[in-house]
């Protein structure tokens, strides 16, 4: 063998020796991360187990995730909402489930005040889009990324390498946020200190300012079209779509402002007039006080159970009530034979 080939072989061998442990580590990480239960995989599995029997599907962002307890609706129900979820993903996920839920009687979208102007891709948590593509297998808000991002082909890239190593060091624990079997994430009643910080005027002002800054006119066009298309599909099955505002604190309402609120309400009325969407509004309902909130736009467990009962009795009652059955028509009894 020519001596000139020896350095090449030695370099190649050293590269292989260097890469082999990395490949083993990468494979171990991928296998471990594939088994991590997160809020997305948990909901895919959870709703899949009840699709044949579910009668109400609830969805929305983190407000709906925390505020609506399916077990309080008195019929089989599931909460599909998730943190920072947007209408694009609400409608995309529901569209994949409609044909496989034969007993479905109602769909509820529990919305924050700014929902019709929001898209996840415009938020600080845009990274969550990849989780919808991987676990729900629905299109992203930014379609080209569905084909060119490594996150859809590597769990390490999806979770990011630092987070992947952190999960590995902890033994790949579940990170589903403490979801119940029906998809609800209850928030416990906070301590007085935590409650006060969540309603603090300065924090609320900054929180609402972030929401207002993320609102886009072009997002409204796409969201209105998505909800209208979903409503049309549900109408074909005779299933009503309810869309409405969840309770928020008085401070949140004040910071959001009457002009932004009126604009959102106008779009909601368009959905009602054009697509038959049924509306509800509990954003300023005086029955909900500061003690019902975890922070300005998230309800604690007590507030959530109170709201769920209100939704059941005031919004969903017409479709959840048992159908009124006509009394059976009885054939006339045969004449009694005459006694001899």
Instruction: Write the CATH number of the domain with boundaries 23-317.
Output: 3.40.50.1110
Q: Quickly state the pLDDT bin for 320 (edges 50, 70, 90).
A: confident
Chain center to CA of 274: 25
55 DSSP 8-state letter: -
CB 214 within 8 A of CB 123: yes
Q: What is the pLDDT of residues 52-111, one digit of tens each?
A: 999 999 999 999 999 999 999 999 999 999 999 999 999 999 999 999 999 999 999 999
* SS3 state of residue 50: helix
d(CA 155, CA 130): 10
- Residue 295, pLDDT > 70, answer yes
The pLDDT value recorded for residue 325 is 38
d(CA 124, CA 100): 34
Chain center to CA of 46: 13
d(CA 287, CA 247): 10
- Residue 322, pLDDT > 80, answer no
More confident: 15 or 334: 15
Do strands 77-79 and 106-111 pair parallel, antiparallel, or not at all (unpaired)?
Answer: unpaired
> Mean pLDDT, to the nearest integer, of 163-178?
87
d(CA 143, CA 116): 20
pTM higher than 0.75 = yes
The pLDDT value recorded for residue 142 is 78
Q: How many other C-beta atoms lie within 10 A of the C-beta of residue 224?
A: 18
User: How much is the mean pLDDT over the chain?
Assistant: 89
Q: Quickly state the pLDDT bin for 5 (edges 50, 70, 90).
A: low
Q: What is the pLDDT of residues 6-48, one digit of tens each?
A: 576 666 666 666 566 656 667 877 789 888 899 999 999 999 9
38 DSSP 8-state letter: B
- Residue 326, pLDDT > 60, answer no
Q: Quickly state the pLDDT bin for 150 (edges 50, 70, 90).
A: confident
The pLDDT value recorded for residue 16 is 61
Contacts of 60 (CB under 8 A, 6+ apart): 68, 81, 85, 90, 109, 110, 111, 112, 115, 246
- Spell out where the chain has E strands: 56-60, 77-79, 106-111, 241-245, 278-281, 293-295, 298-299
List the Cα angle 13/14/17 in 5-degree steps.
90
Share of the chain above pLDDT 70, in %: 86
313 DSSP 8-state letter: I
d(CA 250, CA 242): 24
Q: Quickly state the pLDDT bin for 327 (edges 50, 70, 90).
A: very low
d(CA 204, CA 21): 49
- Residue 154, pLDDT > 80, answer yes
The pLDDT value recorded for residue 330 is 44
Share of the chain above pLDDT 90, in %: 72
Would you list the domain boundaries of the chain?
A: 23-317
Q: Quickly state the pLDDT bin for 208 (edges 50, 70, 90).
A: very high
Q: What is the CA radius of gyration of the chain?
A: 26
The pLDDT value recorded for residue 336 is 41
d(CA 88, CA 116): 10
The pLDDT value recorded for residue 145 is 59
Q: Quickly state the pLDDT bin for 331 (edges 50, 70, 90).
A: very low
More confident: 3 or 180: 180
**Bridge partners, residue 38, by sequence:** 175
């Amino acid at each position: 063998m020519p001596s000139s080939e020896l350095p090449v072989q030695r370099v190649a061998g050293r590269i292989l020796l260097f890469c082999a442990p990395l490949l083993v580590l990468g494979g171990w990480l991928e296998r471990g991360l594939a088994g991590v239960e997160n809020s997305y995989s948990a909901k895919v599995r959870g709703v899949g187990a009840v699709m044949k029997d579910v009668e109400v599907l609830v969805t929305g962002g983190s407000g709906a995730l925390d505020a609506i307890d399916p077990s309080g609706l008195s019929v089989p129900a599931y909460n599909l909402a998730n943190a920072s979820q947007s209408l694009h993903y609400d409608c995309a996920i529901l569209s994949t489930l409609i044909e496989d839920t034969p007993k479905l009687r109602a769909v509820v979208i529990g919305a924050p005040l700014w929902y019709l102007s929001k898209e996840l891709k415009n938020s600080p948590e845009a990274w969550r889009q990849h989780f919808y593509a991987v676990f729900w297998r629905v299109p992203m808000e930014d379609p080209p990324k569905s084909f060119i991002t490594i996150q859809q082909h590597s769990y390490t890239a999806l979770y990011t390498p630092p987070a992947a190593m952190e999960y590995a060091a902890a033994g790949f624990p579940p990170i589903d946020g403490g979801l119940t079997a029906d998809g609800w994430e209850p928030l416990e009643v906070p301590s007085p200190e935590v409650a006060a910080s969540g309603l603090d005027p300065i924090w609320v002002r900054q929180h609402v300012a972030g929401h207002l800054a993320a609102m886009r006119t072009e997002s409204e066009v796409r969201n209105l079209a998505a909800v209208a298309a979903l409503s049309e599909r549900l109408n074909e099955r005779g299933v009503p779509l309810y869309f409405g505002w969840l309770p928020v604190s008085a401070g949140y309402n004040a910071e959001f402002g009457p002009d932004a609120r009126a604009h959102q309400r106008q779009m909601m009325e368009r959905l009602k007039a054009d697509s038959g969407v049924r509306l509800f509004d509990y954003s300023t309902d005086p029955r909900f006080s500061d003690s019902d909130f975890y922070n300005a736009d998230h309800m604690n467990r007590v507030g959530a159970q109170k709201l769920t009962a209100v939704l059941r009795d005031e919004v969903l009652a017409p479709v959840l009530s048992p159908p009124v059955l006509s009394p059976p028509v009885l054939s006339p009894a045969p004449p009694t034979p005459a006694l001899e």
